[in-house]
Chains A and B, each alone.
Chain A
Amino acid sequence: DSGVTQTPKHLITATGQRVTLRCSPRSGDLSVYWYQQSLDQGLQFLIQYYNGEERAKGNILERFSAQQFPDLHSELNLSSLELGDSALYFCASSVLGVRGTEAFFGQGTRLTVV
């Protein structure tokens, strides 16, 4: 158990719909990252938040948005969903520890758009 919680684990929705993915980072971790992983593909960086503020943006579509709340949990909103948005969405939080800056990943949310 990484300590990062993502909900829901699975989500099936229709094209054109909107969904919200939720991430609770490890206690004390200020950074939250969102990644998209399509079938058998690598990790595509979407966006990073640090202590409530957007820190870096990757290949995130305009239909997607995210935010980090004062309690540090984060939500990724995906709207006007398309078939190609079907993927595994990971959230990770990071902290500077004894082994260095280590990212801890949640189990992911598998989104299927039909």
Chain B
Amino acid sequence: GQQVMQIPQYQHVQEGEDFTTYCNSSTTLSNIQWYKQRPGGHPVFLIQLVKSGEVKKQKRLTFQFGEAKKNSSLHITATQTTDVGTYFCAGHNNNDMRFGAGTRLTVKP
């Protein structure tokens, strides 16, 4: 079945540094979503990418979908303490959605 791998598992950065998390699927995806889970909270939808090579931006966050629609990345520029949390990718195909294990981001002020 569909497998979604996400790296790194943890990332510690100094405030102001950049951060990137990567997601890889074993199968071609119809789309991929990204979610953020704040400490003690539940995952919340951030964005969906559908097209091959698609790039979307949300303020300091840049999301990219690979040309083969099997990988994706989330890049945060100049991290802030409000960015702390776990970022999950979720690959979607044929009504089947699988989450990556997530990347837990901590930001040192």
Binding site for B on A (CB under 8 A): 2, 31, 33, 35, 40-43, 45, 48, 50, 55-56, 58, 90, 92, 94, 99-108
Report yes or no: B42 in contact with A102, Cβ–Cβ below 8 A.
no
A48-B99 Cα distance, complex, nearest whole Å? 12
A99-B95 Cα distance, complex, nearest whole Å? 16
Report yes or no: B95 in contact with A31, Cβ–Cβ below 8 A.
yes
Interface locus among B12-20, B72-80, B84-92:
B84-92
Binding site for A on B (CB under 8 A): 1, 6, 9, 31, 33, 35, 42-45, 47-48, 50, 86, 88, 90, 92, 95-102, 104
Question: Which residues from chain A contact B45 at a C-beta distance below 8 Å?
Answer: 99, 102-104
Question: Which residues from chain B contact A102 at a C-beta distance below 8 Å?
Answer: 33, 45, 48
Nearest CB in chain B: distance from A84 CB, A: 17
A56-B100 Cα distance, complex, nearest whole Å? 16
